[in-house]
């Protein structure tokens, strides 16, 4: 009975989105040694079959070492070349991302920690300012606690397709980025 209710209330895109995000843990486990895994996960979350971002960034805030480190960047325009399943040839995807300008720009971020400056990572004007500086229009963000006192930070361009339940799903699934290495 429950399955029939769910299937009648979800669109094809919603079902596809759920398949994408629930499949990510298995992909992360299968490719856990891959350099660039966080970029692949961000790509999967940001892609049209995922949350459909125009731009998104993943950063790590480390207050102990006073670092805000850019880890991965997603720009829909730069990812148009990847029509095939990136998980089939992950090394090719990661190599392509080395020349992606937005991803490289994000990877070059090494600033002082926001949380070390007592900036609340859930309400910070400084985070939105960083998003605007990166060319993200109407930046929104989530932060979450990671191991060893670090904080993950996802900044993304507001998207009218991210309704309330998708926003909750995104907030929960963005923590998967923490399971990837920093390479």
Over 90: is that where the pLDDT of 60 sits? yes
Half-sphere exposure of 22 (CA within 13 A, CB side): 6
Write down the pLDDT at residue 55: 95
39 close to 97: Cβ distance less than 8 angstroms: yes
Q: What is the pLDDT of residue 1?
A: 45
- To the nearest whole number, what is the mean pLDDT of the chain? 86
Tally of CA atoms within 13 A in the half-sphere of 32 that contains its CB: 7
2-179 maps to CATH 3.30.450: yes
- In this predicted structure, the answer to whether residue 5 has a pLDDT above a threshold of 50 is no
Place of tokens 């500086």: 133
> What are the boundaries of each domain within the chain?
2-179
> 112: number of CA atoms within 13 Å, CB side?
5
> What are the tokens at 36?
């660039």
**What's the pLDDT at 131?**
94
Reported as a single tens digit per residue, the pLDDT across 62-98 is 999 999 999 999 999 887 666 678 898 898 888 888 8
What average pLDDT does the segment 156-176 reach? 82
Mean pLDDT of 153-181: 85
Q: Is the pLDDT at 182 greater than 90, yes or no?
A: no
């Amino acid at each position: 009975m429950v399955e029939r209710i769910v299937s009648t209330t979800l669109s094809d895109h919603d079902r596809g989105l759920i398949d994408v995000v629930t499949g990510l843990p298995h992909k992360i486990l299968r490719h856990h040694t891959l350099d660039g895994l966080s970029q692949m996960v961000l790509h999967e979350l940001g892609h049209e079959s995922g949350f459909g971002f125009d731009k998104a960034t993943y950063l790590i805030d480390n207050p102990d070492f006073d670092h805000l480190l850019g880890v991965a960047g997603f720009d829909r325009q730069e990812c148009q070349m990847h029509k095939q399943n990136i998980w089939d040839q992950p090394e090719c995807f990661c190599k392509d991302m080395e020349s992606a300008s937005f991803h490289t720009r994000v990877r070059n971020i090494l600033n002082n920690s926001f949380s070390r400056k007592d900036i609340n990572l859930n309400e910070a004007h400084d985070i939105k300012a960083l998003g605007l500086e990166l060319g993200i229009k109407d930046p929104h963000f989530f932060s979450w606690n990671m191991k060893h006192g670090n904080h993950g930070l996802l900044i993304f361009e507001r998207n009218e397709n991210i309704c309330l339940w998708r926003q909750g799903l995104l907030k929960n699934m963005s923590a998967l980025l923490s399971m990837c290495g920093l390479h």
